[in-house]
Structure formats: structure tokens, C-alpha cells
Amino acid sequence: MLIIHTCSRRCLKCDNLCGWSADIRTVNNQHYVIVDGTFEDRVVVQPHPNPRSYDDWEKKEKIHCKKCRQDWGIKANYQSVPCSVVKICSFVVVDPYEKRSYCKKWKDVTFPVAELSEQDIRDLVEFALERA
């Protein structure tokens, strides 16, 4: 499989630019978190219909595309740090050659996703403080 390092993510419904593959981190290879501080400018946040806590996570809100309201995932606190957790099936992935692909599962993406680091966590805290 060819690994491509810089892809864009576009909204599945309206094709609005959502962000870049380099701005995604994984937590325990299960949850995919956005570490781009400008991501919040592209979403609408609504209360989660079923907020709950489990392990190190507290589900709080739903995030949707600002342009078309497509469901992109959730806002959650991970170890008390606010973050956006996205689902890949809400996006079209566009590689540098403009090839578009739809992935139902994160394991199907053609770009590498790094593990969430301590520096990423500090950055997420700083982004949250800037928005407060």
C-alpha cells in the first residue's frame, strides 16, 4: 500500500475543507483527535444527546460542519483535556494528486497517524485557554 503523508480532509456532504492529515493524532489506536487550533472555526458545536464518561474520556458535545451541519464527531475531554474526536466516514480524503477516497474505517486511510504526545496535550490545553 502506498503511504501518502499530506492529505486534506473534506466534508463528505458539502466538500468544505476540514483540515489536514498532519493534524490528526490517535489515542490508543482507537480515538482520532484533531490537534489543529483552528479546527474550531470550521465546526458548530451542539450538546451531545447522550453525554457519558468512560475510561479517561468524557463525551460532552457533538461537532458538525459549519457549512452543512454534517456530523463530524464529538467534543470530549480526554484526561480532562478538551479535544475534538472525529470519525473518518464523515470525510473525503484528498491526496496531493487530487485523488479522492472515502474510508469507512480509520484503518483504511493511506496516511500515517501519530500517537497523541505530551506536547500535543499541552497544545490542546493552550488552544482551550485561548478560546475561553
* Separation of alpha carbons 58 and 23, rounded Å: 22
Residue 104 lies in a domain: yes
**Residue 124 structural domain:** 8-131
Q: What is the pLDDT of residue 47?
A: 95
Q: What is the pLDDT of residue 66?
A: 97
Residue 62 lies in a domain: yes
Residue 3 lies in a domain: no
pLDDT in tens, the chain (132 residues): 444 558 999 999 999 999 999 999 999 999 999 999 999 999 999 999 999 999 999 999 999 999 999 999 999 999 999 999 999 999 999 998 899 999 999 999 988 999 999 999 999 999 989 887
Residue 1 lies in a domain: no
How many domains, in total, are found in the chain?
A: 1
Q: Within 10 Å of residue 79's Cβ, how many Cβ atoms? A: 11
Residue 103 lies in a domain: yes
* Separation of alpha carbons 9 and 56, rounded Å: 27
Q: Which pTM was predicted?
A: 0.91
Q: What is the pLDDT of residue 5?
A: 58
Residue 106 lies in a domain: yes
Q: What is the pLDDT of residue 75?
A: 96
Residue 52: CATH number of its domain: 2.170.150.30
The answer for residues whose C-beta is within 8 angstroms of residue 20's C-beta and 6 or more apart is 6, 7, 8, 9, 36
